[in-house]
Amino acid sequence: MRHLFLAGVPAMAALLLWTPDPVAAQTPKSPAKTYSPRRMANGHPDLQGTYDLATITPLDRPFGTNAVYTKEEAHKRETAAALQREQGDQAIKGDRTAPPKGGDGSIGPAGNVGGYNTGWLDPGSTYTMVNGEIRSSIVVDPPDGRVPPMIPAAIQRTTAGRARPTSDAQENANDPGLEKAPGAYDDPERRPLGERCLLGFGSTSGPPALPDYFYNNLHQIVQTPDAVMILTEMVHDARIVRMNAQHLPKNIRLWMGDSVGRWEGDTLVIDTTNFTNKTRFRGSTENLHVVERFSRIDDRTLLYRFTVEDPETWARPWTGEYAWPATNGHIYEYACHEGNYALTDIMKGARLREKEQASAKAAR
């Protein structure tokens, strides 16, 4: 689901592609040395602004691709994505018939009944660019650009817990837990956090904050000497980072973890622990530890780098990075519960299926 429907405006792509060589010279590898960001009254860099995280760079590097795309490769892929989007916008027959009985063949969460027109979607249209490199994955370490495989104990644990969907279960379209695990529809609390309007889909709020390959990718940073707030449009998540503070006692657990921040030179470092066992980012435990590093690349762009570790899930820590370009767009409210008819329809649907199965069994 993630890569099929990519945005269609090649303007940014063109900008990226026609930038004269050497691109690297324009985005220095050590921004702090050659670039002095605008500053707050206390002398620390001003990271405030609204950022649009949309990108077509996936978290995991596709097999068989290099870490960095050439301009030509990126152009080809971005153009293909744009074309696909444009085709999705084309008119169809006005005098069409209803879709086929038995389903339209769509897979994953679209569940054989289809999803939305491309008109509803607003994913990225370009690959993320870091150090002048057009990146094929957000993950940069391990060097193969892919999230390390889970250790056997973690696989066992997550398999046993499949009926308790995780915060990013939506992204795992083939995850049997979402639809087929016993008990997946037993009560609303078994449904994924995004479906319940609790946290964004696919770790949009994080930490680590990942792009939503669908829409509503805006994030806003508000900064004071004592706290930094990161607001994620989907699903209205505000994370408060306490500066130069100690972590909360271990028995206090938060949906997005407990974040404390400090400055290392011109880089804001945010350390997050104290997660619950309800979010389970990519199958991790509540002992997940995330370190994020925010720095300014230029007046309009932040570099976001994160390292994730959980020895009970992965044999080694892993790191990702991507650019957060500023946007002139506004974050809109994402009040979600009031209009969430879908959840009641989903639960009702499950009860009806149970009844049908029971009466079919009785008839046998």
Taking CA atoms, 312 is separated from 141, 154, 161, 209, 286, in Å, by: 19, 6, 15, 21, 10
Residue of the chain from 24, 25, 315, 342 that contacts another protein (CB under 8 A): 342
Nearest to 142, CA basis, from 20, 261, 316: 316
Q: According to the binding rule CB under 8 A, does residue 182 interact with another protein?
A: no
Q: Given the rule CB under 8 A, which of 40-48, 128-136, 187-195, 307-315 is the region that contacts another protein? A: 187-195
Which residues, including other chains, have CB under 8 Å from residue 90's CB and lie 6 or more apart?
none
Q: How far apart are CA 301 and CA 148, in angstroms?
A: 28
End-to-end CA distance of the chain, in Å?
Answer: 39
Q: According to the binding rule CB under 8 A, does residue 7 interact with another protein?
A: yes
- Where in 288-307 is the site for another protein (CB under 8 A)? none
Q: Tell the smallest beta-carbon distance from residue 339 to another protein (Å).
A: 3
Q: Given the rule CB under 8 A, which of 58-66, 156-164, 317-325, 342-350 is the region that contacts another protein? A: 342-350
Q: Tell the smallest beta-carbon distance from residue 199 to another protein (Å).
A: 12
Residue of the chain from 15, 40, 107, 315 that contacts another protein (CB under 8 A): 107
- By beta-carbon proximity to another protein, the closer residue of 118 and 205 is 118
CB 331 within 8 A of CB 229: no
Taking CA atoms, 147 is separated from 157, 279, 313, 319, 360, in Å, by: 18, 18, 11, 8, 44
Q: According to the binding rule CB under 8 A, does residue 98 interact with another protein?
A: yes
Q: According to the binding rule CB under 8 A, does residue 193 interact with another protein?
A: no
Which residues, including other chains, have CB under 8 Å from residue 343's CB and lie 6 or more apart?
188, 191, 195, 196, 197
Q: How far apart are CA 215 and CA 238, in angstroms?
A: 18
Q: For 333, phi and psi rounded to 5 degrees? A: -60, 145
Q: According to the binding rule CB under 8 A, does residue 355 interact with another protein?
A: no
Q: For strand 301-309 and strand 318-325, is the pairing parallel, antiparallel, or unpaired?
A: antiparallel
Q: According to the binding rule CB under 8 A, does residue 86 interact with another protein?
A: yes
Residue of the chain from 29, 40, 65, 99 that contacts another protein (CB under 8 A): 99
Residue of the chain from 51, 127, 214, 306 that contacts another protein (CB under 8 A): 214
Q: According to the binding rule CB under 8 A, does residue 82 interact with another protein?
A: yes
Q: Tell the smallest beta-carbon distance from residue 298 to another protein (Å).
A: 20
CB 239 within 8 A of CB 261: no
Q: Tell the smallest beta-carbon distance from residue 125 to another protein (Å).
A: 7
Residue 131: count other Cβ atoms within 10 Å of its Cβ: 17
- By beta-carbon proximity to another protein, the closer residue of 24 and 83 is 83
Q: According to the binding rule CB under 8 A, does residue 85 interact with another protein?
A: yes
Q: Given the rule CB under 8 A, which of 148-156, 230-238, 284-292, 305-313 is the region that contacts another protein? A: 230-238
CB 349 within 8 A of CB 356: no
112-151 footprint of another protein as x/- string (CB under 8 A): xxxxxxxxxxx--x--------------------------
Q: Given the rule CB under 8 A, which of 28-36, 82-90, 257-265, 283-291 is the region that contacts another protein? A: 82-90
Q: For strand 267-273 and strand 68-69, is the pairing parallel, antiparallel, or unpaired?
A: unpaired
Residue of the chain from 20, 22, 64, 92 that contacts another protein (CB under 8 A): 92
